Amino acid sequence: MNWSRGVVLKSDRELAIMRRAGRINALALLAAVEAVRPGATTADLDAAAVEVLRQHKAEPAFLGYPGAYPYPAATTICLNEELVHGIPGPRRLEEGDLVSIDCGATLEGFVGDSAITVGVGKISDEAGRLLEVTLEALMAGIGAMRLGHRTGDVSAAIQRLVETRGFNVVREYTGHGVGRAMHEDPQVPNYGRQGTGMPLRVGMTIALEPMVLAGRPETQVLEDEWTVASLDRRLTAHFEHSVAVTKDGPVVLTALDPVLDAGLGDRYNGYFAGFLQPVKDKGVRSQ
């Protein structure tokens, strides 16, 4: 294993394990998405994800994560104005809600970390646009994960996509290196300047996670000391993939497998699931 300024570069063998962990995480998210319906509780969604982790003998990476108190579940589930770190429980989904599900799976010592936001039934035009922009921001970030770029190029690609569409990115929470630990260096914020930050290198693995707010970018931690919500209580969305930098371009580690998982994911955006190529980010400087 190679270390560089706190960044852990992964070997091909380690990337193969991370791909397996990431696929299981994708299957867990898919199960949770398939449980989304009016009347379901957020605990139901968590249970669906936990069952997949158990079937594949993966450990829930979030359970026990240190904070104000150890994180008590395998997923974080957020509704509407809640952005990240919502604790699943008895709250019931209603038609028109936005629900974001974030999950982490540890397999053979490596973590897959990914998140998705979906609507419950019919959603508002603003909510639909927010989902579209947040997913496109993730794809723009993935497209920038190339040799010759720096972390600031990835951040700038995400920020530009979001802000040109009239929404805001969070400042207090960031994308991050991922590997044996769920949070490794480098931090990759959802805002930044091109040409700044750390040069990308083969074997870097980063969880990119645009957290997008329809209104102001400020957030607030709620009374449970975990859930983060928009301060103005307007809608938010969150998508995340763990992505490797390779000499052949970005590889999404938290995708379904096009062969093994063929036919799955009717309710799972194929673009997000990884069956389609990420968009190329034409706006990012190439060297």
Question: To which residue do tokens 């700044």 refer?
Answer: 196
Helix (H, G, I), strand (E, B) or coil at 46: helix
Nearer to Mg ion, 113 or 184 (CB): 113
Note the Cα 173 to chain centre separation in Å: 12
From 52-60, 117-125, 206-214, 245-253, give the range in contact with Mg ion by CB under 5 A: 206-214
Nearer to Mg ion, 62 or 167 (CB): 62
Nearer to Mg ion, 269 or 280 (CB): 269
Beta strand spans in the chain (E)? 2-4, 7-9, 59-60, 75-79, 82-84, 98-107, 110-119, 168-169, 175-177, 184-188, 205-208, 211-213, 219-221, 228-230, 236-238, 241-246, 249-252
Query: Are the C-beta atoms of residues 33 and 103 closer than 8 Å to each other?
Result: no
Q: Does 136 bind Mg ion (CB under 5 A)?
A: no
| CA separation for the pair 215, 83 (Å, rounded) | 12
Min dist. Cβ of residue 241 to Mg ion (A): 9
Angle (CA) 48-64-254 rounded to 5° is: 50
Which of 189, 113, 110 lies closest to 150, judged by CA?
189
Site for Mg ion in 105-124 (CB under 5 A): 113, 115
Over the window 256 to 275, marking each residue x when it contacts Mg ion by CB under 5 A and - when it does not, the resulting string is --------------------
Min dist. Cβ of residue 208 to Mg ion (A): 9
Number of residues that bind Mg ion (CB under 5 A): 5
Secondary structure of 196-233 in HEC code, one letter for each residue: CCCECCCCCEEEECCEEECCCCCEEECCCCCCEEECCC
Min dist. Cβ of residue 119 to Mg ion (A): 20
Question: To which residue do tokens 């974080």 refer?
Answer: 76
Min dist. Cβ of residue 267 to Mg ion (A): 20
Q: Does 207 bind Mg ion (CB under 5 A)?
A: yes
Min dist. Cβ of residue 28 to Mg ion (A): 12
Over the window 217 to 256, marking each residue x when it contacts Mg ion by CB under 5 A and - when it does not, the resulting string is -----------------------x----------------
Q: Does 52 bind Mg ion (CB under 5 A)?
A: no
Site for Mg ion in 54-113 (CB under 5 A): 102, 113
Min dist. Cβ of residue 38 to Mg ion (A): 25
Nearer to Mg ion, 52 or 207 (CB): 207
Min dist. Cβ of residue 227 to Mg ion (A): 15
Question: In the beta sheet, which residues pair with residue 219?
Answer: 230
Footprint on this chain of Mg ion (rule: CB under 5 A)? 102, 113, 115, 207, 240
